[in-house]
Amino acid sequence: MRRLAGISRTATTAVAIALAAMALPAVIFAVAGTQQSAIVVFAKTIDPDGLPRSVSILSWNEHVARLDGIDAKTARALYAEGAVLVMPFRKSGCMSFRKT
């Protein structure tokens, strides 16, 4: 019984961490407000014509796309189209945060 409780606690913690990790990009888009680039992961192949009109495609793979022009409203529309994850993408990497 003790082992089952440990497994249950571990599973609950893992699910909570996964949900927080999936919610974080949505919060970033909502706080940022401006349109930015994003990496979008789709569970199944979709038709690029089904994307919102304000989005421009930087690169496209069968299930992964780099898109530009994403804000909070567009991210919600992408999730409605079947996106599993919409994550902000920095073209310059983390070093672009550094002041010069």
Between the ranges 25-29, 64-68, 85-89, 93-97, where is the mean pLDDT highest?
64-68
Given this model, what pLDDT does residue 94 score?
Answer: 55
Residue 99: band (very low, low, confident or very high) from pLDDT cuts 50, 70, 90: very low
Q: Cβ neighbours of residue 63 under 8 Å, at least 6 residues apart?
A: 41, 42, 43, 44, 45
pTM for the full predicted model:
0.64
AA letter at 14: A
The whole-number average pLDDT for the span 80-96 is 74
Proportion of the chain above pLDDT 90, given as a percent = 17
Q: How many CB atoms lie within 10 A of CB 50?
A: 10
DSSP-based three-state secondary structure for 80: helix
C-alpha 96/C-alpha 78 separation (Å) is 27
Burial class (CB within 10 angstroms; exposed 0-12, middle 13-18, buried 19+) of 100: exposed
